[in-house]
């Protein structure tokens, strides 16, 4: 069963990111609001976040909010983050996600004890020859994987593992509103499957907890989700962003 305090804190975060006067329904269900400056999704997109049995939806316009609200009346919060279900009832043009949302309290933390030496380094750090630090790991991973990891945007130190002189795994977090630490992890492709992600992420999580922050793990892919669970994170919800056409879905097509 999900920890009640974690649910409350997670919902408080997403309410603030909605950037409008709104709350999750305590009894469950979906709340749809017009919020063009919402941070639940990119500009002009519709953002959907489910935490527990309640969902919050921010739409960029009154017209879009009306379409989504009509659909949401016939859907559960779980269905609102199901891409196939949304495509059946809304004019979906593009999608980001869905990604699972995990949270962790201090009492639930399962630290990794792999016997590995994790270093703390600035995210921009590189060796004098330019190919040994976390910045070099990001460069070697390529733009798509580096962007997916979010590691370049962390505000904490980077917690790193080396093989020889080369940083092959790194983790850290970015400070979000409501004292939330948003975790990021990246492992070099040739070193995956060796529990390195768990080791560096454990160090980053410990640092966040010591700072009094709530660790958040957002994961789209199964390997990342497994690392979160191994560290004690609880899956509390899902985030999805959709870009909708202005015209309602033509049900006659």
Q: What integer pLDDT is reported at residue 1 of this predicted model?
A: 46
Query: Could you tell me which residues are beta bridge partners of residue 169?
Result: 161, 187
Domain made up of 106-232: CATH architecture: 3-Layer(aba) Sandwich (3.40)
* Residue-range domain boundaries for the chain: 4-100+237-244, 106-232
Cβ neighbours for 70, distance < 8 A, ≥ 6 positions apart: none
Strands 29-34 and 54-59: parallel
195: left (phi over 0), alpha (psi -120 to 50) or beta: left
143 by Cβ neighbours in 10 Å (0-12 / 13-18 / 19+) ranks as exposed
Give all strands of the β-sheet with 29-34 in edge-to-edge order.
Answer: 29-34, 54-59, 46-51, 234-244, 92-103, 214-219, 180-187, 166-176, 158-163, 119-121
Q: In the chain, how many H helices and how many E strands? A: 8, 10
- Residue 208's SS3 state is helix
Question: What pLDDT sits at residue 250?
Answer: 66
Q: Mean pLDDT of residues grouped by 10 in the chain (253 residues)?
A: 85 96 92 96 97 96 95 94 95 96 96 80 60 79 80 92 88 96 91 86 96 96 93 97 84 53
Instruction: Specify the pLDDT at position 251.
Output: 58
Confidence at residue 108, expressed as pLDDT on a 0 to 100 scale: 95
Tokens representing 238? 């899902």
Q: What is the pLDDT of residue 115?
A: 59
Unique residue bearing structure tokens 């919800």: 237
Give the span between the Cα atoms of 7 and 93, in whole angstroms: 31
Read off the tokens for 61. Answer: 């316009």
């Amino acid at each position: 069963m999900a920890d009640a305090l974690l649910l409350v804190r997670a919902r408080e975060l997403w309410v603030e990111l909605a950037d409008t006067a709104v709350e999750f329904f305590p009894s469950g269900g979906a709340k749809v609001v017009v919020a063009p400056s919402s941070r639940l999704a990119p500009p002009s997109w519709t953002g959907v976040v489910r935490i527990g049995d309640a969902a919050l939806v921010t739409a960029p316009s009154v017209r879009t909010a009306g379409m989504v609200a009509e659909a949401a009346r016939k859907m559960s919060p779980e269905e609102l983050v199901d891409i196939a279900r949304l495509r059946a009832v809304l004019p979906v043009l593009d999608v980001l996600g869905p990604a699972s949302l995990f949270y962790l309290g201090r009492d639930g933390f399962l630290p990794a004890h792999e016997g590995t030496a994790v270093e703390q380094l600035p995210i921009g750090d590189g060796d004098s020859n330019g190919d040994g630090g976390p910045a070099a790991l990001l460069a070697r991973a390529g733009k798509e994987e580096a962007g997916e990891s979010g590691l370049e945007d962390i505000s904490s130190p980077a917690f790193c593992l080396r093989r020889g002189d080369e940083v092959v795994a790194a983790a850290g977090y970015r400070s979000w509103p409501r004292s939330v630490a948003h975790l990021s992890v990246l492992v070099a492709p040739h070193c995956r499957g060796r529990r390195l992600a768990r080791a560096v992420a454990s160090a980053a999580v410990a640092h966040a907890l010591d700072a009094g922050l709530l660790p958040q793990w957002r994961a789209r892919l199964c390997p990342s989700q497994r690392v979160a669970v191994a560290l004690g994170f609880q899956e509390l919800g899902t985030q999805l962003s959709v870009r909708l056409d202005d015209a309602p879905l033509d049900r006659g097509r």
